Structure 1
Amino acid sequence: MALEIERRFLVAGEGWREHIRWDRHLLQGYLVGSADGLTLRVRSDGANAAWLTLKYPAAGIARHEFEYAIPPSDAEALLERSEASLIKRRFGLDLAGGDWVLDVFEAANAPLVIAEVELESEQDVVAIPPWCRWEITGEGAFSNAALARCPFQAWAAQEQEAWLLKLGALQA
């Protein structure tokens, strides 16, 4: 059984760009999402690769995760049937202390930029880059599934502004 242990951060600035190793344009659709945290997701990078992923909570910040490669044509059919979806560009980063990726959200979730680091254990110590301005680990509204259902641009203006101020993206 696969276990995903990750910490997540809202990002401000462009300092992360010097750490890019690779990037992919991704479309994610959610087929199932429940109050107990169970999600069934389909993800595609276009015509090249696609995955079906089942996630559900474990202990602490860990989640059980099962991910399987599927044919891109199957992903396309499932994406058409998804109840909610989002678009993002994902970047792999060359940072120490875990497997780092950064998502630049598009369309209704712009201008969100979220970094994630996958860890071996919740006790792992990791150096947090200065451009990771606000930890959102466990903040349900910032999960990809939640952002697919209720995009950032659909949030109340005051709530959007409060988060952007925390990031220093707006002048007080």
Structure 2
Amino acid sequence: MGRFGRGHHVKASWSKPKSEIHHSPRCRADSPDLSGAGESDRKLYDEPLRKPVYIELNRQRYRCQSCGKELPSHPDIYRDCKISVRLVRYIWNRYLRGASFSAIAEETGPAKSTVHNAFQHRLEIMDEPLTPGDATVLSMDEIHLRGHGYLAVFVDPESKEVIEVLRGIDKP
């Protein structure tokens, strides 16, 4: 789709007090001297609830005076893109269950290229595990993706959520 149209629309605001920011994630300075960099509105896609979910987020921005860089905008915005971390998990789960990028884009809202790029980026940074939550049972299988070889997939069979995907599986 690539547009904020049909679906659920949510307006939200977020501001983290300066006193709760203990280090700059950009330059790693402890107790950074922060200045307000204004507020901004951000539109992003979230995990669908039978229809796409669109969030209009008004957020406070901060700039680190040590390095001059702006701090990341919100912990649940994926890589400062127009999608939430929750939507990235949803994309993983749907794709690994056989849905195409086009089908996922249609049901979630963002463009097919955004869905594909989120999947590719997650594949490239396998060092950052997804949260396993309260899984009490674990299932494991492998899949083969062209250009990436075999991957091990760990799933919570009760919730049907992908917990982790690991690359580098050697197949005899």
Give the TM-score category using the shorter length.
under 0.3
Q: Which has the larger radius of gyration?
A: 2
Bigger RCO of structures 1 and 2 (CA < 8 A, at least 6 apart): 1
> TM-score, normalised to structure 1's length?
0.24
Structure showing the higher strand proportion among its residues: 1
